[in-house]
Amino acid sequence: MLRRDLLGWLTGGLILGTVGLVGGRVRAGAAARLPQLAENAAPPLFDDDMILGKADAPVTIIEYASLTCPHCAHFSTNTFPKIRSDLIEPGKVRWVYRDLPLDHRALLGALLAHCVPKEQYFATIDVLFATQEDWASAADANAVLGQIGRTAGLDQPTVDKCLADKAMTAKIIARIKDGEQKYDIKSTPTFIIDGKGHSGDMEYSEFFDLIKDLLPKQ
Protein backbone atom coordinates (compact mmCIF):
# COMPACT_ATOMS: atom_id res chain seq x y z
CA MET A 1 0.00 0.00 0.00
CA LEU A 2 1.16 3.51 -0.78
CA ARG A 3 1.17 6.18 1.92
CA ARG A 4 0.59 9.78 0.87
CA ASP A 5 1.33 12.84 3.00
CA LEU A 6 -1.46 15.39 2.75
CA LEU A 7 1.01 18.22 3.39
CA GLY A 8 2.31 17.92 -0.16
CA TRP A 9 -0.77 19.29 -1.85
CA LEU A 10 -2.55 21.61 0.59
CA THR A 11 -3.00 25.07 -0.92
CA GLY A 12 -3.20 28.60 0.38
CA GLY A 13 -0.83 28.04 3.29
CA LEU A 14 -3.32 25.78 5.07
CA ILE A 15 -1.69 22.99 7.07
CA LEU A 16 -3.34 19.81 8.21
CA GLY A 17 -0.43 18.43 10.22
CA THR A 18 1.33 15.13 9.80
CA VAL A 19 -1.69 12.91 9.18
CA GLY A 20 -0.82 10.30 6.58
CA LEU A 21 -3.46 8.38 4.65
CA VAL A 22 -3.31 5.31 2.49
CA GLY A 23 -3.94 6.28 -1.12
CA GLY A 24 -7.07 4.28 -1.80
CA ARG A 25 -5.11 1.17 -2.75
CA VAL A 26 -7.45 -1.44 -1.26
CA ARG A 27 -7.93 -4.36 -3.63
CA ALA A 28 -11.32 -4.30 -5.33
CA GLY A 29 -13.78 -6.51 -3.49
CA ALA A 30 -11.72 -6.70 -0.30
CA ALA A 31 -12.99 -5.07 2.89
CA ALA A 32 -10.71 -4.32 5.82
CA ARG A 33 -12.15 -3.85 9.30
CA LEU A 34 -11.02 -0.73 11.13
CA PRO A 35 -10.94 -0.29 14.91
CA GLN A 36 -14.40 -0.47 16.49
CA LEU A 37 -15.85 2.52 18.33
CA ALA A 38 -18.30 2.26 21.19
CA GLU A 39 -20.82 -0.48 20.52
CA ASN A 40 -23.91 0.76 18.67
CA ALA A 41 -22.48 4.30 18.53
CA ALA A 42 -24.57 6.61 16.37
CA PRO A 43 -22.43 8.54 13.88
CA PRO A 44 -22.24 12.24 14.74
CA LEU A 45 -23.32 14.40 11.79
CA PHE A 46 -22.69 18.00 10.83
CA ASP A 47 -25.48 20.42 9.96
CA ASP A 48 -24.04 20.85 6.46
CA ASP A 49 -23.30 17.18 5.72
CA MET A 50 -24.29 16.09 2.22
CA ILE A 51 -27.00 13.46 2.70
CA LEU A 52 -29.15 11.18 0.58
CA GLY A 53 -32.19 9.44 2.02
CA LYS A 54 -34.79 9.97 4.69
CA ALA A 55 -33.91 11.48 8.04
CA ASP A 56 -35.75 8.68 9.86
CA ALA A 57 -33.99 5.84 8.00
CA PRO A 58 -33.04 3.12 10.52
CA VAL A 59 -29.43 2.93 9.32
CA THR A 60 -27.03 5.84 8.71
CA ILE A 61 -23.85 5.19 6.72
CA ILE A 62 -21.00 7.66 6.28
CA GLU A 63 -18.78 7.26 3.23
CA TYR A 64 -15.31 8.83 3.14
CA ALA A 65 -14.03 8.97 -0.43
CA SER A 66 -11.49 10.64 -2.67
CA LEU A 67 -12.60 11.69 -6.13
CA THR A 68 -9.31 10.52 -7.68
CA CYS A 69 -9.36 7.12 -5.96
CA PRO A 70 -10.03 4.43 -8.62
CA HIS A 71 -11.60 2.09 -6.06
CA CYS A 72 -13.98 4.83 -4.97
CA ALA A 73 -14.93 5.37 -8.61
CA HIS A 74 -15.53 1.66 -9.14
CA PHE A 75 -17.74 1.50 -6.07
CA SER A 76 -19.63 4.61 -7.18
CA THR A 77 -20.35 3.35 -10.68
CA ASN A 78 -20.85 -0.37 -9.99
CA THR A 79 -22.16 -0.84 -6.44
CA PHE A 80 -23.69 2.42 -5.33
CA PRO A 81 -26.54 2.52 -7.90
CA LYS A 82 -28.03 -0.65 -6.36
CA ILE A 83 -27.50 0.71 -2.85
CA ARG A 84 -29.40 3.81 -3.90
CA SER A 85 -32.29 1.92 -5.51
CA ASP A 86 -32.60 -0.90 -2.97
CA LEU A 87 -31.66 0.77 0.31
CA ILE A 88 -31.67 4.57 0.13
CA GLU A 89 -34.76 5.29 -1.95
CA PRO A 90 -36.99 2.84 0.01
CA GLY A 91 -36.02 4.64 3.24
CA LYS A 92 -33.87 1.88 4.75
CA VAL A 93 -30.55 3.77 4.69
CA ARG A 94 -29.51 7.39 5.05
CA TRP A 95 -26.25 8.00 3.16
CA VAL A 96 -23.73 10.66 4.17
CA TYR A 97 -20.89 11.50 1.76
CA ARG A 98 -17.73 13.16 3.08
CA ASP A 99 -14.68 14.31 1.14
CA LEU A 100 -11.34 12.75 1.90
CA PRO A 101 -9.20 14.03 -0.99
CA LEU A 102 -5.87 12.24 -1.26
CA ASP A 103 -4.29 14.65 -3.71
CA HIS A 104 -4.69 18.17 -5.05
CA ARG A 105 -6.90 17.19 -7.98
CA ALA A 106 -9.29 15.34 -5.70
CA LEU A 107 -9.51 18.52 -3.64
CA LEU A 108 -10.33 20.54 -6.76
CA GLY A 109 -13.09 18.09 -7.68
CA ALA A 110 -14.51 18.33 -4.16
CA LEU A 111 -14.47 22.12 -4.31
CA LEU A 112 -16.34 22.05 -7.61
CA ALA A 113 -19.01 19.69 -6.25
CA HIS A 114 -19.62 21.97 -3.28
CA CYS A 115 -20.06 24.91 -5.64
CA VAL A 116 -23.03 23.60 -7.64
CA PRO A 117 -26.58 24.00 -6.28
CA LYS A 118 -27.14 21.61 -3.36
CA GLU A 119 -29.74 19.59 -5.25
CA GLN A 120 -27.11 18.87 -7.93
CA TYR A 121 -24.35 17.85 -5.52
CA PHE A 122 -24.71 14.08 -5.72
CA ALA A 123 -25.27 14.17 -9.48
CA THR A 124 -22.00 16.08 -9.78
CA ILE A 125 -20.20 13.55 -7.59
CA ASP A 126 -21.55 10.81 -9.87
CA VAL A 127 -20.24 12.65 -12.94
CA LEU A 128 -16.82 13.22 -11.37
CA PHE A 129 -16.44 9.53 -10.54
CA ALA A 130 -17.77 8.41 -13.94
CA THR A 131 -15.33 10.72 -15.78
CA GLN A 132 -12.44 10.28 -13.36
CA GLU A 133 -9.99 9.06 -16.01
CA ASP A 134 -10.70 12.16 -18.11
CA TRP A 135 -10.16 14.95 -15.59
CA ALA A 136 -7.92 13.35 -12.95
CA SER A 137 -5.16 12.64 -15.47
CA ALA A 138 -5.75 15.59 -17.81
CA ALA A 139 -2.89 17.94 -18.61
CA ASP A 140 -5.14 20.78 -17.44
CA ALA A 141 -7.53 19.40 -14.82
CA ASN A 142 -8.97 22.85 -14.13
CA ALA A 143 -10.12 23.15 -17.73
CA VAL A 144 -11.91 19.79 -17.69
CA LEU A 145 -13.45 20.54 -14.30
CA GLY A 146 -14.56 23.86 -15.75
CA GLN A 147 -16.45 22.01 -18.47
CA ILE A 148 -18.17 19.86 -15.84
CA GLY A 149 -19.04 22.97 -13.86
CA ARG A 150 -20.49 24.73 -16.88
CA THR A 151 -22.60 21.67 -17.64
CA ALA A 152 -24.00 22.01 -14.11
CA GLY A 153 -24.93 25.62 -14.87
CA LEU A 154 -21.94 27.51 -13.48
CA ASP A 155 -20.17 30.22 -15.48
CA GLN A 156 -16.39 30.15 -15.76
CA PRO A 157 -15.70 33.00 -13.29
CA THR A 158 -17.77 31.12 -10.69
CA VAL A 159 -15.87 27.90 -11.39
CA ASP A 160 -12.54 29.71 -11.03
CA LYS A 161 -13.65 31.23 -7.72
CA CYS A 162 -14.81 27.85 -6.43
CA LEU A 163 -11.58 26.06 -7.28
CA ALA A 164 -9.69 28.70 -5.27
CA ASP A 165 -12.09 28.73 -2.31
CA LYS A 166 -9.87 28.77 0.79
CA ALA A 167 -12.79 28.71 3.22
CA MET A 168 -14.20 25.51 1.73
CA THR A 169 -10.70 24.04 1.56
CA ALA A 170 -10.28 24.74 5.26
CA LYS A 171 -13.63 23.07 6.01
CA ILE A 172 -12.68 19.98 4.01
CA ILE A 173 -9.36 19.79 5.85
CA ALA A 174 -11.14 20.10 9.20
CA ARG A 175 -13.46 17.24 8.26
CA ILE A 176 -10.46 15.11 7.27
CA LYS A 177 -8.98 15.68 10.72
CA ASP A 178 -12.31 14.91 12.38
CA GLY A 179 -12.69 11.65 10.45
CA GLU A 180 -9.14 10.58 11.19
CA GLN A 181 -9.56 11.28 14.90
CA LYS A 182 -12.98 9.65 15.26
CA TYR A 183 -12.54 6.65 12.97
CA ASP A 184 -8.80 6.22 12.36
CA ILE A 185 -9.42 6.18 8.61
CA LYS A 186 -6.50 4.80 6.62
CA SER A 187 -7.91 4.22 3.14
CA THR A 188 -10.62 5.17 0.70
CA PRO A 189 -13.36 4.31 0.36
CA THR A 190 -14.19 3.83 4.03
CA PHE A 191 -17.73 3.32 5.30
CA ILE A 192 -18.80 4.01 8.88
CA ILE A 193 -21.58 1.58 9.80
CA ASP A 194 -22.95 1.25 13.32
CA GLY A 195 -19.88 2.97 14.75
CA LYS A 196 -17.42 0.69 12.93
CA GLY A 197 -15.21 1.40 9.95
CA HIS A 198 -15.09 -0.86 6.89
CA SER A 199 -12.77 -0.05 4.02
CA GLY A 200 -12.58 -1.33 0.48
CA ASP A 201 -14.33 -1.45 -2.88
CA MET A 202 -17.12 -3.97 -2.31
CA GLU A 203 -19.72 -5.65 -4.45
CA TYR A 204 -23.33 -5.15 -3.36
CA SER A 205 -23.70 -8.57 -1.74
CA GLU A 206 -20.61 -8.02 0.40
CA PHE A 207 -21.77 -4.55 1.39
CA PHE A 208 -25.29 -5.75 2.21
CA ASP A 209 -23.86 -8.38 4.55
CA LEU A 210 -22.48 -5.52 6.67
CA ILE A 211 -25.88 -3.94 7.26
CA LYS A 212 -28.49 -6.69 6.94
CA ASP A 213 -28.66 -7.33 10.69
CA LEU A 214 -29.20 -3.60 11.33
CA LEU A 215 -32.26 -3.36 9.09
CA PRO A 216 -35.74 -3.78 10.58
CA LYS A 217 -37.09 -7.28 10.24
CA GLN A 218 -39.83 -7.62 7.64
**Residues 118-134: what's their mean pLDDT?**
97
Worst-scoring range by mean pLDDT, 7-11, 39-43, 71-75, 171-175? Answer: 7-11
pLDDT surpassing 50 at residue 6: no
pLDDT at 193: 96
pTM of the predicted model, to two decimals? Answer: 0.83
Burial label, 189 (beta-carbon count in 10 A; 0-12, 13-18, 19+): buried
Q: Give tens-digit pLDDT for 82-106.
A: 999 999 999 999 999 999 999 999 9
pLDDT at 207: 98
E-strand stretches of the chain? 3-5, 20-22, 32-36, 50-52, 59-65, 93-99, 190-193, 196-199
Partner residues linked to 155 by β-bridges: none
pLDDT surpassing 50 at residue 13: no
- Of residues 109 and 21, the one with the higher pLDDT is 109
Half-sphere exposure of 57 (CA within 13 A, CB side): 21
Helix pair angle (104-115, 156-163), 10° resolution:
130
Full set of structural domains in the chain with CATH: 3-8+21-34+50-211 (3.40.30.10)
pLDDT at 41: 45
pLDDT surpassing 60 at residue 23: no
**Residues 135-143: what's their mean pLDDT?**
95
Worst-scoring range by mean pLDDT, 9-18, 57-66, 144-153? Answer: 9-18
The answer, yes or no, to whether the previous bond of 189 is cis (omega within 30 of 0) is yes
**Residues 116-143: what's their mean pLDDT?**
96
Q: Give tens-digit pLDDT for 181-207.
A: 999 998 999 999 998 999 999 999 999
pLDDT confidence tier of residue 2, bands split at 50, 70 and 90: very low
**Residues 36-43: what's their mean pLDDT?**
48
pLDDT at 217: 84
